[in-house]
């Protein structure tokens, strides 16, 4: 016993005098112990809070350059914030100043205010009068550049560059394509309920650059973008009957899509832009037709005494979803693009309408009416995973942002007995059902259609 | 003579730019008393990490693992980060394993970067691990799997 204690004390004394006492001894023990395995820790829960990001004002030497820099970062910051995925940190919390940042980021200054990412940029008005806009996106913790680009454009395009940069940042951080460099076309409404004036209007997705495309003399409905984003198709009542028109945004010209012996409704472009699918009512029966824009050939896809309407192509052009009451009530169906293999996919209680296939192909959005209430919902193309995203007295007409992650629709409030209320507004919402927001429009708004990314 | 030398040196110091990134090298380390005491306890090979110790670390990450929501394939975004830790629980080195997939899969890259950011996030530093078991957690693999969060 004494000997043992003696040895122990001896070991202790010598250990005290070393820097890496037990650790060294232990490491040796570890190495000879074959069963020592690497520790694995499972982390299964985090948070889905918006990512804190610092968007600094883009720098410019001349005052006009600096002003453009401030404007671009404000638009860019607002885009990221509106997506619900980012939380721009207020400028007054920034520690590192512009002049020092222009040399090099001091990552400690950004880490300490909890910025996980940081955006900086520079504006230069060149001799030609053109703008050079440069930006860099930094990963603050890893202290590495994540993205960096320079753009050359005319000064009046500064908003588009801000949106393009927002899309680059969004994609780099989330893996998803962005949707900020897009426009929304919709029906602007005004006037009393019995004498509504409806005008075609277009704006940037953030509400800027708003303009009216028609003067309200003729009723216009269901505008839709072509895949090239330069043309809009819509329904108009010029003359007594509704006809499908195509409006060219560049030239401002509108032409009738075809003089059909019947009423045509709900037109939509095919993903390649070469065809328009629509429903046509002849003799009280509504069927789905597809027209080749080049040849102007018209093909009938459905053949059923029920009302078939509201067709929408899948992004691979192979299938079409549509609305039919052939099963007794309004439900959603999917068929091949040639009209074969019609399958019903909605089975819940209530009526389903306005199906729209997501540009990502993984969801179909729709309007649902049940129990006197309206809902905007999504389901997978096989009918599974039905989820309600929004509800209201009247919510209708979903349209997908080009990244298939965000939806817009319109919402109308209930009018009271005195006829007050009943405003109609455009809303956006995430497919997770979060982050519902209103798009500010000058008048009442309905029937939104989201453009593809502007080429 | 000495005063001239001093001024020359001062200027030099000012001119030298701030180091871009501090090299993570093993520093001369002053052992905190708590650590010194526990280090004097002999390494107990038979004392594995307990479930509650591992849970404490997992719970720490609730605040600093910012998960990209609504990703296309939330079931398939398991990310493994290999970590070398300092005895005080701060991170010495962290690395994403399976970097090849980062090049081909942008959603995986997003998930991997968010996991690495979680490990480097000052909010989660130091990791709450028992100092006397340092040998157990000196190197470890953190497996970030968001599946449970998205009902997968």
* CATH number of the CATH domain containing A274: 2.120.10.30
Statement: residue B40 has pLDDT above 80: no
The CA-atom distances, in angstroms, between A99 and each of A57, A70, A95 are 11, 15, 12
In A, which residues are within 8 Å of B120 by CB distance?
141-142
One domain for residues A304 and A167: no
Q: Report chain A residues whose CB lies below 8 A from the CB of B18.
A: 104, 106
């429009």: which residue's tokens? A441
- Tell me the residue range of the domain where A369 lies: 183-450
What gap in Å lies between CA A145 and CA A104, rounded to an integer?
A: 11
The ipTM is 0.77
Task: Report, in angstroms and rounded to the nearest whole number, the Rg of chain B calculated over CA atoms.
Answer: 21
pLDDT tens column, A376-393: 999 999 999 999 999 999
- Are the C-beta atoms of A181 and A453 separated by less than 8 Å? yes
- Which residues face A204 on adjacent strands? A183
Weakest-pLDDT range from B15-19, B32-36, B51-55:
B15-19
Top-confidence residue, A192 or B1: A192
Name the DSSP letter for residue B66. Answer: B
> Domains along chain B?
49-145 (3.30.1150)
Q: Are residues A153 and A196 in the same domain?
A: no
Helix axes A158-174, B106-120, angle to 10 degrees: 80
Asked if residue A17 is part of any domain, the answer here is no
In the three-class reduction of DSSP (H, G, I as helix; E, B as strand; rest coil), residue B124 is classed as helix
Predicted pLDDT at B12: 41
Residue A371 shares a structural domain with residue A389: yes
Confidence of residue B73 (pLDDT cuts 50, 70, 90): low
Calculate mean pLDDT across residues A17-26.
44
Tell me the pLDDT tens digit for each residue of A152-210. 999 999 999 999 999 999 999 998 899 999 999 999 999 887 888 999 999 999 999 99
Q: Which residue among A107, A139, A174 closes a domain?
A: A174
Distance of residue A173 Cα from the nearest chain B Cα, in angstroms: 6
| Least confident piece of the model among A128-137, A283-292, A362-371, B41-50 | B41-50
Binary contact (B65, A46; C-beta < 8 A): yes
Q: Quickly tell me which residue has 């899948």 as its tokens.
A: A314
Q: Does residue A25 sit within a domain?
A: no
CB atoms within 10 A of CB A198: 22
At residue A313, the 3 state secondary structure works out as: strand
Task: Quote the tokens at residue A169.
Answer: 């940042």
Beta carbons within 8 Å of B18's beta carbon, 6+ residues apart: A104, A106
What integer pLDDT is reported at residue B31 of this predicted model?
65
Tell which of A174, A194, A214 closes a domain: A174
Supply the DSSP symbol for B100: H
Report d(CA B38, CA A190) in Å as an integer: 77
Asked if residue A13 is part of any domain, the answer here is no
Same domain? For A169 and A187 the reply is no
β-pair type (A394-400, A406-412):
antiparallel
Q: Answer yes or no: is pLDDT of A302 > 60.
A: yes
pLDDT at residue B24 tops 70: no
Model pLDDT for residues A229-275, shown as the tens digit of each residue: 688 988 888 777 777 888 898 888 888 876 666 677 778 999 998 89
Give the Å distances, CA to CA, from A169 to A38, A47, A51, A402, B146.
37, 21, 12, 16, 23
- Whether the CB-CB separation of B145 and A44 falls below 8 Å is answered with yes
What mean pLDDT value characterizes chain B?
Answer: 78
Is residue A133 domain-shared with residue A200, that is, in the same domain? Answer: no
Rg (CA), chain A: 29
User: What is the DSSP pairing of strand A211-212 with strand B139-144?
Assistant: unpaired
How far off is chain A from B91, nearest CA to CA, in Å? 12
Which token pair is A420?
Answer: 């007050």
Of A19, A116, A174, the CB nearest to B110: A174
Rounded CA separation A144/A151 (Å) = 21
Cis ω before A423 (30° cut-off from 0): no
Task: Tell me how many residue pairs between chain A and chain B have CB atoms under 8 A apart.
Answer: 143
Is A97 a member of any domain? yes
Cα(A210)–Cα(A280) distance, integer angstroms? 32
Residue A78: the pLDDT is 97
The pLDDT confidence band at residue A33, using thresholds 50, 70 and 90, is: very low
- Which domain-ending residue is among A154, A174, A194? A174
- The answer on A202 and A156 residing in a single domain is no
Residue A455 lies in a domain: no
Mean pLDDT of chain A: 88
Inter-chain touch A43–B65, beta carbons under 8 Å: yes
Contact yes or no for B39 and A114 at CB 8 A: no
CATH code: domain of residue A149: 3.40.50.10070
Total domains in the fold of chain A: 2
How far apart, in whole angstroms, are the C-alpha atoms of residue A450 and residue A439?
12
Is the same domain home to A138 and A189? no
pTM for this model (two decimals): 0.83
Rounded to an integer, the average pLDDT of B17-37 is: 60
Q: How near does any CA of chain B get to the CA of A431, in Å? A: 8
Question: Per-residue pLDDT for B77 more than 90?
Answer: no
Confidence of residue B148 (pLDDT cuts 50, 70, 90): confident
pLDDT of residue A422: 83
């Amino acid at each position: 016993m004494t000997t043992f204690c003696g040895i122990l004390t001896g070991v202790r004394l010598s250990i005290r005098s070393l820097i890496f006492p037990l650790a060294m001894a232990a490491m040796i023990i570890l190495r000879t112990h074959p069963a020592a395995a690497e520790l694995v820790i499972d982390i299964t829960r985090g948070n889905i809070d918006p990512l804190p990001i610092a968007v600094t004002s883009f720098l410019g030497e001349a005052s006009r350059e600096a002003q453009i820099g401030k404007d671009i970062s404000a638009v860019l910051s607002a885009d990221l914030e509106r997506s619900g995925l980012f939380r721009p940190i207020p400028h007054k919390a920034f520690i590192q100043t512009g002049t020092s940042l222009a040399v090099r980021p001091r990552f400690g200054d950004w880490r300490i205010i909890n910025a996980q990412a940081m955006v900086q940029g520079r504006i230069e008005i060149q001799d030609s009068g053109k703008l050079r806009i440069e930006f860099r996106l930094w990963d603050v913790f890893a202290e590495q550049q994540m993205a960096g680009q320079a753009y050359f454009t005319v000064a009046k395009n500064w908003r588009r560059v801000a949106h393009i940069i927002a899309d680059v940042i969004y994609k780099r951080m989330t893996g998803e394509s962005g949707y900020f460099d897009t426009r929304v076309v919709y029906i602007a409404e005004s006037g009393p309920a019995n004498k509504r004036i409806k005008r075609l209007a277009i704006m940037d997705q953030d509400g800027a650059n708003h303009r009216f495309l028609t003067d309200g003399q003729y009723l216009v409905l269901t505008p839709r973008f072509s895949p090239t984003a330069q043309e809009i198709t819509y329904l108009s009542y010029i003359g007594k009957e509704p006809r499908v028109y195509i409006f060219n945004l560049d030239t401002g010209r509108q032409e009738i899509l075809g003089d059909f012996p019947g009423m045509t409704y709900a037109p939509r472009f095919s993903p390649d832009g070469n065809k328009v699918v629509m429903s046509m009512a002849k003799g009280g029966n509504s069927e789905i037709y597809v027209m080749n824009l080049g040849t102007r050939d018209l093909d009938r896809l459905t053949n059923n005494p029920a009302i078939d309407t509201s067709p929408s192509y899948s992004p691979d052009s192979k299938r079409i979803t549509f609305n039919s009451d052939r099963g007794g009530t309004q439900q959603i169906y999917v068929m091949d693009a040639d009209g074969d293999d019609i399958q019903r996919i909605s089975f819940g209680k209530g009526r389903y309408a306005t199906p729209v296939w997501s540009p990502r192909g993984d969801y179909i959005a729709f309007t649902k009416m049940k129990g006197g209430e309206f809902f905007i919902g999504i389901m997978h193309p096989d009918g599974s995973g039905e989820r309600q995203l929004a509800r209201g007295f009247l919510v209708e007409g979903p349209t997908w942002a080009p990244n298939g992650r965000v939806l817009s629709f319109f919402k109308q409030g209930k009018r009271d007995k005195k006829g007050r209320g009943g405003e109609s507004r455009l809303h956006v919402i995430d497919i997770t059902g979060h982050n519902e927001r209103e798009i500010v429009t000058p008048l009442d708004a309905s029937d939104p259609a989201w453009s593809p990314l502007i080429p | 003579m000495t005063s001239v030398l001093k001024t020359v040196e001062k200027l030099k110091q000012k001119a030298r730019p701030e180091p871009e990134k501090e090299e993570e090298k093993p520093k001369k380390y002053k052992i905190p008393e708590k650590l010194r005491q526990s280090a004097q306890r002999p390494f107990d090979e038979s004392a594995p990490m307990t479930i509650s110790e591992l849970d404490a670390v997992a719970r720490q990450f609730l605040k600093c693992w910012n998960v990209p929501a609504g990703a296309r394939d939330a079931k398939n975004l398991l990310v493994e980060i290999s970590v070398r830790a300092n005895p005080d629980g701060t991170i010495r080195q962290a690395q994403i394993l399976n970097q090849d997939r980062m090049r081909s899969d942008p959603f995986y890259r997003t998930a991997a970067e968010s996991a690495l950011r979680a490990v480097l996030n000052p909010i989660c530093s130091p990791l709450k691990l028992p100092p006397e078991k340092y040998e157990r957690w000196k190197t470890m693999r953190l497996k970030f799997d968001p599946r449970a969060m998205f009902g997968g």
